């Protein structure tokens, strides 16, 4: 599956990764947590309906404080 960022104005896709020269990570929607998923959908500001099961947002829309360290897997 080729990911394209779900944010309305973002043009990043999985293929953009090679063009940027740095890592581009896509985060899947937390669709099992309905309230958090609705927040993510609202942040996308899309006019058309979004299917969170198939959607992802690229790392450009997250700050370092949005991430939790996983010391077990580092």
Q: Which residues contact residue 24 at a Cβ distance below 8 angstroms, ignoring those fewer than 6 apart?
A: 12, 14, 16, 17, 58, 59, 60
pLDDT for the residue numbered 19? 60
pTM: 0.81
pLDDT per residue as tens digits for the range 11-27: 999 887 666 666 788 99
Q: Which residue has the higher pLDDT, 7 or 3?
A: 7
d(CA 24, CA 58): 7
Which pLDDT band, with edges at 50, 70 and 90, does 2 fall under? low
DSSP helix/strand/coil, 31: coil
- Read off the pLDDT of residues 42-70 as tens digits, 9 standing for 90 and up: 999 999 999 999 999 999 999 988 888 77
């Amino acid at each position: 599956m080729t990911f394209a960022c779900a944010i309305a104005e973002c043009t990043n896709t999985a293929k953009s990764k090679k063009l940027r020269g740095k890592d581009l990570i896509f985060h899947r929607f937390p669709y099992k947590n309905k309230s958090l998923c609705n927040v993510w959908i609202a942040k996308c500001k899309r006019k058309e309906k979004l299917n969170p099961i198939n959607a992802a947002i690229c790392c450009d829309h997250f700050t370092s404080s949005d991430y939790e360290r996983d010391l077990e897997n580092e």
